[in-house]
């Protein structure tokens, strides 16, 4: 068994090629859209969603089958077609060019695998069973999705504000570290999940985080405004 090395790639403005235009290709493209990558899709046909993305200028569509040379300039390649010959040809070109390539459901033709992913704002959790059981990876993702609810996105926004204010303060390095660790252990996520903003404000006031307190109040006000509109 090959030991895999987990890594998060910065794909912003880099060319990613997806070979295939069906439902699987659509899922792969939607995953890439989060990254700010330049996405080129090579396929004679597209799903309705991919057609819309092309019309909106979010992807580049090459309306034909794969041809040798199509991977020139690519940083990453995903093959989402059930044509075995195309799978082999794309993987071979990717290997020759030194481009990471994933052929969906064919681990023998992959230089990387795509994990099951949970996104909560700035939190990204990647889950992999190293190909042993994608079904198990899916079950684990579903369990973790309930543990890390949507409020976790707001929680990380608050923790970023806290960290920035503490690091920019005139406190000693030791005191900064103490505050960061104390607030990381505080039940801030639970307060946000329950909507207990008074308790959250009390913690921020106690720690002398006036700027963060004002920012959180603005976030809370914007959130309540959206709820009223809904």
Percent of the chain with pLDDT over 70: 95
**Structure pTM?**
0.80
Cα–Cα dist 29/49, whole Å: 10
Report the CATH architecture of 15-114.
Answer: 3-Layer(aba) Sandwich (3.40)
pLDDT at residue 223, rounded to an integer: 65
Tell me the Cα Rg of the chain. Answer: 22
User: What is the pLDDT at residue 228?
Assistant: 60
Domain boundaries, the chain: 15-114, 115-148, 151-221
Q: Which residue has the higher pLDDT, 2 or 118?
A: 118
What would the pLDDT profile of 22-49 be if each residue is shown by its tens digit? 999 999 999 999 999 999 999 999 999 9
* Position 53 confidence tier, pLDDT thresholds 50, 70, 90: very high
**Residues 188-225: tens digit of each pLDDT:** 999 988 888 889 999 999 999 999 999 888 877 666 66
Report whether pLDDT(61) > 70: yes
Q: What's residue 1's pLDDT?
A: 57
Question: Residue-wise over 45-65: b if at least 16 C-beta within 10 A, else e?
Answer: ebbeebeebbeeeebebbeee
CATH hierarchy code of domain 115-148: 3.30.160
């Amino acid at each position: 068994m090959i030991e895999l090395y987990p890594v998060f790639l910065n794909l912003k403005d880099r060319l990613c090629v997806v070979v295939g235009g069906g439902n699987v290709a659509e899922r792969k493209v939607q995953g890439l859209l989060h990254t700010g990558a330049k996405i080129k899709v090579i396929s004679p046909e597209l799903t309705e969603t991919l057609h819309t993305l092309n019309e909106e200028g979010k992807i580049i569509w090459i309306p034909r089958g794969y041809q040798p040379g199509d991977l020139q300039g690519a940083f990453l390649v995903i093959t989402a077609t059930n044509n075995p010959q195309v799978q082999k040809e794309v993987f071979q070109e990717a290997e020759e060019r030194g481009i990471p390539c994933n052929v969906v459901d064919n681990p023998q033709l992959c230089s990387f695998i795509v994990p099951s992913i949970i996104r909560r704002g700035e939190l990204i959790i990647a889950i992999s069973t190293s190909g042993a059981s994608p079904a198990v990876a899916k079950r684990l993702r579903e369990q973790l999705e309930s543990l890390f609810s949507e409020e976790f996105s707001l929680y990380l926004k608050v923790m970023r504000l806290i960290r920035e204010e503490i690091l920019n303060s005139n406190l000693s390095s030791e005191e900064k570290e103490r505050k960061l660790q104390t607030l990381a252990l505080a039940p801030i996520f639970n307060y946000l999940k329950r909507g207990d903003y008074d308790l959250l404000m009390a913690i921020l006031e106690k720690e002398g985080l006036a700027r963060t307190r004002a920012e959180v109040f603005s976030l809370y006000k914007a959130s309540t405004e959206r709820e009223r509109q809904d």
